[in-house]
Each structure stands twice: as structure tokens, then as C-alpha cells.
Structure 1
């Protein structure tokens, strides 16, 4: 029987609630032996979702407050590879199993802590960091998306566990990267503050560019500016918003009354494919189409078909024609037709519908597990996987109920791990990565591994297939820390240069379907011929361990949201779906999941000497951000989590309230009414009916400022934090690059102003500080170079002479730029 990728790894999972157990689940799904450590009385979170994320794990009950329990935990550590916790900073140390104690027991241990806020943050580290508390303090609920701003809805609550999802992906990748380097660098302790992970995951929502050109602003952004300039209120209704949506980036109703979401903007060929598929070829005859990498002053029209957004003079008539066309067929027919035509679109579904979707079930994106409590249980599948792992879809259920668990004496019989010697360096020092990706998800892999020492070379086409908004504006973040070469892979010279680059690479990344991968000649057999140790990391929209009806359908972040249920939840139902209000909600997460897949492949390579294909997908990431809802079984409670435009939280004791000086979040999900006893102003409410409490608390919270209420509840399991905004969080943590390297570990949040950027404008970006190892080095990647900036240097390193390079550029097999300016204006 073939060993699974991580079958040689043992993990102790002390995690509770979501983030820590999700890391344990991801490692277990890759074959690791994961032992869940429960406190006396069993897990703190007694819910079906906890049973799901405990799949494949064994369980052991330990009282860490007793000497016997502490010593058992340390004995287990001596025979393990990884320890995971997600307590507040300092809790594990107080229990006698902190990082220093673990390292004394096993110098080779990789320990991972996932606190809500950084241990180096004196203001925030002691706050009871419930998921929504992290979201509120970071800025997730404020000004949440252009739709909500135009409708005048602020704050906007969402139940999605973004912080835990981003934190889990960072946690899994960092553990696996640390294992890869353990022989050189020794054991390590890693901290991944969930708020830092969330801030990094939402980087595109706080990015700010000096003198940002109007040509990149959407109709909704321009309408917001117009209303502010004229002093008009933001009070649009949901139907009125449709006038400001791009026709190639919106939901249409079909003949069966179901929404169908199209995202076909910015890629050169996609709008044409959509109109031709809908039978609207006549429209194409007079729609402008030209090189959008020219400055806008040189455009022959005010928009081009290959550029987002559609101009005002054509937006209405294109939308109207598309509305009428979609009403001629049911959504499932359009989905089949669009998939076959390589036109990116999908039917809008709820989470429950996704859990029984034929593609999800056939491909392994959704699995059926025989759970000891719930019987046949449909669950989300692997978040990432290796193509060689035939057991990726064979899931063992979680631990048995307490009274059915066997003893685990064999855990104490293995010899302890050998001691490791620490050295200085990054986990991925010397790793050569060839990046063939574009837009956000794929490039996120390269920009992430660069911080750990990888050398990343970005290959893009001579003639860009993506408009400057997606390629250049998003690339300010996604292409940091890379070198850039432009090659025409349709020419023999371009292909030859690519294969030379591949022969020298350790890792190659691409975002595309299996069909697209094979069209580039990147079959597993061909890759193995070049280098049997070569790892290819592949991201796509609907990929999974197995093939399904939609495996070769194209897609983007928003389409994964629509397909897996995010949009109907956020919008409040199938008639009012809305894109989740943050750019890259799933895109960035999928890139982090791709890094975790790479980590598993590197660990397998270390043990077996074999490379192969490591994968993740937008759909699997879409499941991860919905992890607490992504299961179903007979008798399951209703899918009735908070949804829609006007929700403020989960209920009286976990929601947004307005204080005298602004909005805040109040969280007491475990204490509930007993939390009121801690505050004199609320003593009279201890025995009040809960139906009356929300209105009463709403009135009383208005009487004092946020800081007053935060102090009143400090030191308890309840928390009060202000609803910050992502821009305010960035601004408060901003350091200029010209002032020297910023200390990215000194607090929870960190941002950098690249004030000597090759673009000629400054740009503010989130700093890469979510992963904080004690021993290994992390570097802050420099600004993204202009596309093609290193073409000559890279070709020269491959052995091309100057005259050969000149000839390739003259012939169009290579190029040094897409436009005269870094960012066309």
C-alpha cells in the first residue's frame, strides 16, 4: 500500500472551536496521525461541525491542570512532530506546556499557536478573541463592499469565519514548510495571530494607490464619489444597484427563476465568448475593442471590450440584451453550455444545494462519511491534496463518543525524536519557483513563498491576456518579491526558453484546469522526464481529487462564491444574491491553500525523493470559509445562520451594538446572561426575558462610549471591541518603506507604504506578518517589478547571448514590457 503524503507525521491537536482543529483536519486529510487532546468533560464545542473537523483524528482526554496530565502531554510531545493550540497568548505556558516546555521535551518539535491577536500586542492580546470579535476589530464588518455602501448599510455582519479560514491555511502551510526545513534549522515555534491572517487575507480591500486613475474605478465607485461630491445620501435599493453593475460581472435570472452568475470581464476573449454563446453576435459588430495598455487619453473610445468596466453608453443595452437571452433557458442548461464554451459562469446555489451537487459529490469536493453520531454525513472534502494520493477521498470518521473510546497506550511506547541543531535561514531558502499564474489566487502562492526565502520567477505572455486592472493593480500585491520575464509561448523560441526554466526549477505554479495544463505540455509524465523531483502546484475553480462534470469549467473567486452558497447567504436568499463584500475573499485563501498543498508535496519529496502535482481549488477554499456550515445529514438543524443585508449578529449576546461614540461588537456567547453580572449597569437584567434584552441593551449601550464598555467587560470571557474599518486598521499600522525595515512582529497589524515604488506612485499594502516563527527568518518582499523588467537578465542566465535576446525581442518571442508606463493611465 502506498504511503500517504504525511503518514509519517504525528500531530497533537489541543485546538478548540474552529482555527486550530481546522489545521489538524487539513493535516489529517493529508495522511498525518492527529491526536485530539480533550479536556475533562470532552470537547468545549459540542456541535456537528466539530465532529466533522475531527474526522480522521483519535482523541485522548487530559487534564492539563494536573501534574499527571501535563507530564503525559510532554511525553506525547517527545514522540510527536507537531503541536497545535489556539488559546490566548500565554495559556499553554501557564499550563506547563508552552513552547519552551515543549522544546525541552522534544527539541525537534514544530509548535503552532493560533491566538486571536498577537502575543506582542499589549492592547489586544488579552481580549476574548471570538471569531466576530477578531472580524470587528480588524475591520471586516465596516463599509463591507460597494453594494452595501451604496445602499447605506453599515455595519454589515457576516457569519463567515474568514479569520479562522485564513489562519488555518497559514497554520497548515507554515507547519509543513517548517517540517521541510527541520533537518537544517531545527524545531520551531510559530505564531499565527488570526487577526493578522484576516488582515493579510483581505489585503486587496485596504490597498491604496496614490492618485488612483479613474479608469480603474467601477461604476459603483464613481457613483459613490458623485454622491459624496454632491452631498447626496447613499440610499439605493437592491434593484437600483443593477444599473451600476457591469453586464459581464453580475447575476441574471433564467427561465427556471434561478440566478446565474457571470464573471467574464478583464480577460481578452471572455466577453466575446459570452455574447456569442447567448446569440448576441450582432452586438459585437459595433463594440469598441483595442489595446487597453495605452493611456486613456490615447483610446479611440471611452472603453474597450477587453477591459473592465463596460462604458456608460453601452452598459444598458448590453445588460438588457443579456437579460432577455438568459430568460430563454433554465440555469442548468446555461451552466452546461457556458462550461463547454469556456465562458466563466455558474448557477447560484445555497450551501445545502452545493452539498448535494452532482459535481461536488462526484469529484470529492463533498464527501459522505459514516459519522458515529450522525450516520451518513455529507462534509466538505479536502482543502488541498496531492494527485498521487489515492486515499484523499477516503475519510475516516472522527473520534468515538467518550464511553466508546479505546485506550491509547501504544502512544507512549515509541522512542522520542532526536535532537536538532538550530541554524539561521528561511524555511524555503534556495527553492526555485517558476510562476505561470495570473490575477490573484495563483500569484498569491509565489508572493507568499517569497517571504520564506524562495526565489520566484514570474513568466507572463508577451501580449497580455488580462487587463491592467487585474494584472497591474492587483499585481501590486500579488507579484511582490518576484522577478518577471515575458515570453510568447506560441513561438518555438518562447517554448524553448520556458522548458529551460522548467528544467532548472524545483516548483512550478499554474492556475488552470487539467485541459489547460495539458495544453501547455505539463503532463505528469513530461514533468517527471524533465525532473522527477519537480513539483507542480495547480489551482483551478472546480478541481478536486477526482474528476466531475465541472472539472474543466473556468471560474473565478465570485463564481466559487455563487456555486458554493456564499452569495445567497450574504444577500439573504436566492432572489437577492450578493458577492461577498471583499475583493479576493476566496482568491487569496485559495492561494494560501495552494501553499499548504506545496508544503505537503515538499514533505513527501523530502521523504520519498518524488515530486508530482499538488492542488487546491477555489471551490475547496469556498468550502473552507463556510466550514461551520459545510455539512448535512438526516436530522440536521436548519441552515438558518444569519444572512442578508440587515443582520447585526447571531443574537443578543453576539452582535453589533451602537455605543455613544460609534459601533462596537459585544460577544458573550458562552456566558450570555451571566455576563451582565460583571457590569453594575446591567445587574437588573440578569433574570430578564431574553426577548426583551436586545432592545434594552441597545438603549443602554448608547449611553456610554465604547472604551467604557470594553473596560467593564475586560478580564472576562466576554469582549467589547470597536468596529474598525480595514482602511483605519491599515492607516494606524502604516510604516514607510524608505524609513527602513519595519518590525512586522511588534503588534497584531502591520502595513507598508512602498514610497519609492517603480510605478512612480506610492502604494500602501498589508505587510506579510501573519506567520511568525521564532527561529526561521521571514523577509518582507520588495515592490512588484514592472512586467518584463528582468527578461534580459533571466534569458542571459539561461545561456542566451545578447544578440539572441535582441532577436527574440525583435521577433516577439520575448518582451521587456507591456506598456511604457508601469500603470497605464
Structure 2
């Protein structure tokens, strides 16, 4: 590839701290010319992470409060394509660079704002929206997963910057889609409230289904229900949790003492592959295995091997056999054996170990950059890239000094961009035809996200399901919204013929799988170019990168990326006590968004060159992204000693969860620290205490008054107090009924729809698609996930098959119309 995807795009990055700079980094990694605009005091985040986030950018210091600084900024806007900022609502307007002024200067400009809370939210818009404040309000720290709830630990703090990660992925995606639609729509202003992005990213943790069938509840959920019904305390010890973990969804100890995480439930053949790799074929042969889509009343046994979770009668003996087998070999041996067997599992690693891992380095998931400040610096790699773009592996280090003056002179010598304003308001992707070949969560998230911007998405699944209904239907309620559903048997020639016809009429194909799986489907770069050189394949997998490494063909899921990249070790507090991160789909959903970022770059390259190709993302890369503020290493780096474990409540006394008189709250004063205490009479006498004594003193003092008192005391300052919300409470407060009529996606920061007209016959609550808010372009709520196979006949007719031929295909199993009688098997 000689043309980088975004080399024709100029970006002005006014962002500070994390979210805005992350968007700029993603665009720079794809080849954009990104100019970082700093205030006279320099970047506000005074950490080495800033140097990583600045890679590939130029730096320019401007005092936007001065006439000269503002004039230069306006001249740059006249010659740019994109402006990024993540200040509080109204700040850019007060500086004279608000959305309306930007478009008066340059009608074609795409501006992106990433506030903490929506500018339309009267209660939250003006709050100092530090990362943890956003997390606290949305509910990220409360009810942190099934383990913590069973242990009675609430709240818990995590340093993972989920809001900025989700928001940055939405922002980078939206900017590129808006650029793609710019010839039709003209310039646009896009707002991505980070709290809205966080709730969307955690959608599976607040999804609610009426009369949820008991068969889908895990042993931990059943135990939670039992204890709640009987009024028993939630007081399990960590060591007792193993009794309630599914054998195919847990960590085992190997001969070298390292944990080895297995996630192999719900997919046909995966549990069997695990047992056979462990030498337990006889055990596998004796376990019940039948159609997972039967209703429970029709089951010939108490559970099925292809159906999560494992039944109570076999759970202990399977776990005991697996425990014994894992103790016979060290973790690195098992990792290679499981990878070769296509059995999803990985050894547990810390984040620092991942930064030095041979696969991470060989694949480009971790890069080495010669940084002028830190020397040879390991950094997280791209989160989105195009196959064949070798420059994805080559990073220009971030600037240390103001290095853009010469570049500035060249830019200002250009003529301003004077294209006339365009008044279009269509969806960014209207008319784009997408063929969705994905399953589970991460892959389907791509298509459902594209559908909200107008893409026409057709998903193809096998006639005989390979995924159980817990994964395919329960999670599909959100992940497969807005699509048509076709069932084809690709092992039959007629099924393959129908697939080729679908490919031929498509603009974009999405799949989740390794290169080997891709090529087996006939989707190699060479095969796609033969069918249509303009085709774009969006491919995601677990451990793929811009180049190949020893684990590139290993299978994996969200939790395995957590284990491999250090998330589980950090969350659990150490190598002896790893825990999956509290929020289901933490990395899955983000990977789907990152794949959309890659697609945006591919569409912009296609527009210029006529070349399609492969747009890539990976679970492990998204695992880097949720740890972005920490994912670097160099000689002399401070220890990886960020808050971790079950008892973590904050990052020092000025960024911490405290219990007020009426409940838990988060106190954030990370910049003015002791000065913040001096501003509040109730706390001024504590300002002179040493930091190691301050957390205890603040705990005592905050406990004397209700949260509202402390929130009022800090109101109007750069510090803030936020009551700890919960995801469920946030959901319930934002509910709108589908049956009432049009849904308001801009009612505030959060929006959730109760789909009380859902075709499955139960209502379900799903987060509305309101994280991306263009001023002009249309965003729609995708329709409900269809019952699998609902559109098989319709789509085959569109492909030119006769009614008789379609009937024949269904009879002989080349096509299908249903997986089960009920939408959601019970």
C-alpha cells in the first residue's frame, strides 16, 4: 500500500487529557496530518502517556485567549478538515471557536466535541467531568460483577478509562463517516458525550428482559437469586467462588503456578476441543449433547454440552478433571496446545508482561518507538488498521518541543478552503450494503452500529446454529438490531452460490475470525479483488495485528483478551486472584466500534483510490485501549502500581470513593488537591495533613454530612462530588416506551428504550443509540433483531431464485427459515 488511508486529512487536535488526544492518535495512526494545539502551559496531562498519545502529531502552542493566538487558530481551521476538542460545553464558543463559527470560517469542517455529559443535560452539562466522575454517575463502580456482589463488596474502583475508550472510538468513527458523507451533507458538528458512550459500551450490563428464562442464568446468578430470596448475606470468600464458576468459563492453575483462563462455552465443539486437548476425550464422550435450541421442557437431559451453563450434576466432576489435567503442564505449553487445537484459552498475564510479550511485539499490538524524552518506548499499537498498510507499524514519536512552526508557515501559505456549504441531512451511510457474517457480540456490533447511520445490513448464519441461544439471542437482541436475517448452509454448493451472489451485491462484508477462517470462506484479499476490487472486508479477531505473530491464529473472546493483556490480573489484585472485569462485553463492544473506525478509513481510501481491501481490529488491541493511560513502558518507568484488587476505592485521597452520611460518593480534585479543601470551610482544617493520613481523615469528615451537602460545597469549582449511581438505576431513570411513539435520542445524557412491542413477545430494555449526536446527519434507532431466518425467502428472491428453487433449498437444508419455534427458547 503506497497511499495511507487518511493522508489527505488535516486534523486540529485541541483535546486534553485522554478522550480527545486518543481520537487524534487513532487518526494519526491511520495517516492523518494531526496538529496538537497546546495552551501556553503545555499539555494538561503531565504523564508519559501524553507522549504516546502525541505520536505522529505536530505540536503547536497557542494562547487562544489572545488575539494573535485566536487568529492563527482560525486560519488553521480555514485549511483543515477536522477539529477535535473535549472541553466542557460552551468553552470553545466562549473562545470564538464554537461550531457555528467554525463553519462560518470553513463550511466543510467536521467538528467533534467530547464533553463528559451532554450539552443538553441541565443537571450535568457544567460539572467538571473527570473520568471517574463520569464512571460514578453512570454506575461503573457499583455492583461490579457477579463475584463482587457474591462477596458483598460494593463499591469497587477500577482505573480502566472505559468512558474515554468508548467515547474515542465513537468519535474517530463518527468523524470519518462524516467525512465520507461530506460531499452530500457538507460540514457537521458531532457531539459524543462520554457518559452516553459509556452506557452504550456497557449495554449488556443493563439489558433487561421480561420473565428472563431460568435456563440462561449462570450458577453465580442462581446463587445471587437464592441468597436474595432467603435473606442470606452476600459474604462468599474469593476461594469459595470456584464452586459457582462454569468449568468452561474460569481460571485454572498450571504446573508453573500461573493461571490459565478458559472461555469455551456456548459454541458448538469448543467445550469438546478443550476436554480433548486436556486428554479428557472419554469424559467428553460421556456428556449429554443435544440441540441447544430445544425448550427446556423438551431436553432429553438436564443440560447440553453446547449450551451454557454446564448443569449442576456434571459441573464438579468436569471442573475437578480439568483442574487435575492443567497441573500436568506449565501454562506456556498449554497455550500452544490450545492454540493449535482451536480451543479458546490463554495464560494470565500482567499488563507489563503483555507489553513485553513476543506475540504482542511481533504482531504490532505493541510497538517500540524511539521517543526523544523516554528513549526506546514500548507503546500500545493501533486499535484500527488496514491490511497492507506497513506504516501502521512505523510511528513518528510525539513532539517534545513546539515543532510545528515551519509546518504552520506552509499551511498558512495554502489558500483557505472555500467550498460552498451543503445542506444535506441524510444518514452518513445511507445506501451502503453490508453483508454480516459474524456471531456472538464483537462482530455483530459492527453491523448494528452501521445500521444506525443508514447502512442496509443482511446477516448470514448457518442453517444449524453454531452458537447457543444465550449468546445468539440474548445478546443478539442488541447486537443484531436493524438487520435482515438469512440462514444458509455453506457446506452445500447451493448455499455457497447464494453467498457468492450476496457478496457480489455488497459494498462491505463483516466477519469475526482468523486469517485461516477468512480464507476458508473465500474472503482472502485475492478472492475479494476478483469478485469486486471495491469490496471492503471488515475483519476482527482475538489476537491479530498489523503483522503476524505466534498467536495470530489463536481463537479468543472478550475475557481472554482481558486475561492476555493484564486486565484480569489488575482487577483481581494479583496473579493469584485474577477476575474477569466486572462488566460483560467490556472489550467485545469496544472492538466492534474499533472495527467501525477501520471501516471509516477504508471508505475514505476507497473514495480517493477506488481500492477496497481489509479493515482490521482485534480484541487484544481493544484490551490495550481500555488501559490506554497505562499502556507504555521504558527504562526508568514508574512501577505499574495503579489501583487494583477488590478493596480499591480510588487513586489517592483526591480521587476516591467515600461514604457520605447517606451513601457512597466520588470526590475528584486531581488538579488543585489541597487548594480544593481550602475552598470548603468544613474541610479547610484538613488541607495541611500529609497525603498518607488524608484519606482516613476525609473518610471521617465526609461521613458526617449527606452527599448533597458536599456536592453543593464544591459546586462552581474545578473539583466535584458525584453520588455513585448504578447501571440499573441509570437505565431505569432514562427509560422511554417504544409504544408511546417517537423516541427522543437527545433528552439528556442517557436514553434507554423499553421495547414493549418486541416480536419475541417479551419487553426488553436496550440502551438507545445516542452516544453520537450529529447536528445535521440523521441517526436512527435500528429495528428489532429479527428471528433468525426471517428474511431467507425474501433475500433469496432478491438474488433471483425462483419460489420453487427456494423451497427446494429449504427442503434439502441449503437454506433455512428458523432455528427454533420460539424467538427466545425457554
Conserved? CA contact 2:434–2:458, under 8 Å: yes
Local SS of the residue matching 1:24: helix
Conserved? CA contact 1:262–1:344, under 8 Å: yes
1:683 to partner: Cα distance: 1.9
Conserved? CA contact 1:183–1:420, under 8 Å: no
Conserved? CA contact 2:59–2:401, under 8 Å: no
Q: Distance in 1 between matches of 2:68 and 2:187?
A: 25
Q: Distance in 2 between matches of 1:588 and 1:290?
A: 30
2:553 corresponds in structure 1 to: 552
Q: Are residues 1:238 and 2:238 paired?
A: yes
Q: Are residues 1:21 and 2:38 paired?
A: no
2:800 corresponds in structure 1 to: 799
1:250 corresponds in structure 2 to: 250
Conserved? CA contact 1:506–1:534, under 8 Å: yes
2:569 corresponds in structure 1 to: 568
Which residues of 2 match residues 745-824 of structure 1 at below 5 A?
745-824=746-825
Q: Could you say if the C-alpha distance between residues 66 and 587 of structure 1 is closer, same or farther in structure 2, counting changes exceeding 3 Å? A: same
Local SS of the residue matching 1:533: coil
1:286 to partner: Cα distance: 2.1
Conserved? CA contact 1:379–1:631, under 8 Å: yes
Which residues of 2 match residues 646-685 of structure 1 at below 5 A?
646-685=647-686
Conserved? CA contact 1:679–1:712, under 8 Å: yes
Q: Distance in 1 between matches of 2:698 and 2:571?
A: 26
1:419 to partner: Cα distance: 2.6
2:30 corresponds in structure 1 to: 30
Q: Distance in 2 between matches of 1:102 and 1:305?
A: 59
Which residues of 2 match residues 371-450 of structure 1 at below 5 A?
371-402=371-402, 408-417=408-417, 418-450=419-451
1:209 corresponds in structure 2 to: 209
> Deviation per CA, 1:697-723, whole angstroms, max 9, x where unpaired?
111211221112111111111011111
Q: Distance in 2 between matches of 1:404 and 1:597?
A: 28
Q: Are residues 1:125 and 2:135 paired?
A: no
> Deviation per CA, 1:270-319, whole angstroms, max 9, x where unpaired?
01011111111121232111011010000011111001111111100100
Q: Distance in 2 between matches of 1:65 and 1:75?
A: 15
Conserved? CA contact 2:58–2:404, under 8 Å: no
> Deviation per CA, 1:534-587, whole angstroms, max 9, x where unpaired?
100000000100010000000000000000000000000000000001110000
Aligned residues: 825
Q: Distance in 1 between matches of 2:45 and 2:103?
A: 29
Which residues of 2 match residues 482-497 of structure 1 at below 5 A?
482-497=483-498
Q: Identify the range of structure 1 (771-780 vs 283-292) with the bigger mean alpha-carbon deviation.
A: 283-292
1:453 corresponds in structure 2 to: 454
1:359 corresponds in structure 2 to: 359
Q: Distance in 2 between matches of 1:96 and 1:81?
A: 18
Local SS of the residue matching 2:428: coil
Q: Distance in 2 between matches of 1:697 and 1:46?
A: 26
Q: Distance in 2 between matches of 1:511 and 1:403?
A: 41
1:421 to partner: Cα distance: 1.2
2:468 corresponds in structure 1 to: 467
1:478 corresponds in structure 2 to: 479
1:183 corresponds in structure 2 to: 183
1:134 corresponds in structure 2 to: 134
> Deviation per CA, 1:628-673, whole angstroms, max 9, x where unpaired?
1100000000000000000100010101011111111000000111
Q: Distance in 1 between matches of 2:394 and 2:184?
A: 34
1:406 to partner: Cα distance: 5.6
Local SS of the residue matching 2:321: helix
1:404 to partner: Cα distance: 10
Which residues of 2 match residues 601-616 of structure 1 at below 5 A?
601-616=602-617
> Deviation per CA, 1:131-165, whole angstroms, max 9, x where unpaired?
00000100000001000000000001100000000
Conserved? CA contact 1:42–1:402, under 8 Å: no
Root mean square deviation of aligned Cα:
1.0
Which residues of 2 match residues 689-704 of structure 1 at below 5 A?
689-704=690-705
Structure 2 length-normalised TM: 0.99
2:11 corresponds in structure 1 to: 11
> Deviation per CA, 1:778-799, whole angstroms, max 9, x where unpaired?
0011111101111111111111
1:259 corresponds in structure 2 to: 259
Q: Distance in 2 between matches of 1:480 and 1:105?
A: 39
> Deviation per CA, 1:790-811, whole angstroms, max 9, x where unpaired?
1111111111111111101001
1:275 corresponds in structure 2 to: 275
Q: Distance in 1 between matches of 2:406 and 2:413?
A: 16
Local SS of the residue matching 1:300: coil
Conserved? CA contact 2:513–2:539, under 8 Å: yes
Return structure 1 stretches of 4+ with deviation > 6 angstroms: none
Q: Distance in 1 between matches of 2:376 and 2:687?
A: 41
Conserved? CA contact 2:60–2:402, under 8 Å: no
Local SS of the residue matching 1:301: coil
Conserved? CA contact 1:141–1:155, under 8 Å: yes
Q: Could you say if the C-alpha distance between residues 545 and 407 of structure 1 is closer, same or farther in structure 2, counting changes exceeding 3 Å? A: closer
1:677 to partner: Cα distance: 1.8
1:405 to partner: Cα distance: 7.4
1:723 corresponds in structure 2 to: 724
1:349 to partner: Cα distance: 0.2
2:584 corresponds in structure 1 to: 583
Local SS of the residue matching 1:805: helix
Q: Could you say if the C-alpha distance between residues 503 and 821 of structure 1 is closer, same or farther in structure 2, counting changes exceeding 3 Å? A: same
Local SS of the residue matching 2:676: helix
Unaligned residue ranges in structure 2 (runs of 5+):
none
Conserved? CA contact 1:759–1:822, under 8 Å: yes
Which residues of 2 match residues 494-573 of structure 1 at below 5 A?
494-573=495-574
Conserved? CA contact 2:58–2:403, under 8 Å: no
Unaligned residue ranges in structure 1 (runs of 5+):
none
1:684 to partner: Cα distance: 1.5
1:403 to partner: Cα distance: 8.8
Q: Distance in 1 between matches of 2:74 and 2:746?
A: 28
Q: Distance in 2 between matches of 1:317 and 1:681?
A: 59
1:424 to partner: Cα distance: 2.2
Q: Distance in 2 between matches of 1:113 and 1:210?
A: 37
Conserved? CA contact 1:399–1:405, under 8 Å: no
Conserved? CA contact 2:436–2:444, under 8 Å: yes
1:742 corresponds in structure 2 to: 743
Conserved? CA contact 2:439–2:512, under 8 Å: yes
1:732 to partner: Cα distance: 0.1
1:420 to partner: Cα distance: 3.4
Structure 1 length-normalised TM: 0.99
Conserved? CA contact 1:383–1:621, under 8 Å: yes
1:408 to partner: Cα distance: 3.0
1:103 to partner: Cα distance: 0.6
Q: Distance in 2 between matches of 1:426 and 1:163?
A: 25
Q: Distance in 2 between matches of 1:301 and 1:701?
A: 55
1:127 to partner: Cα distance: 0.7
Conserved? CA contact 2:60–2:404, under 8 Å: no
Q: Distance in 2 between matches of 1:561 and 1:55?
A: 25
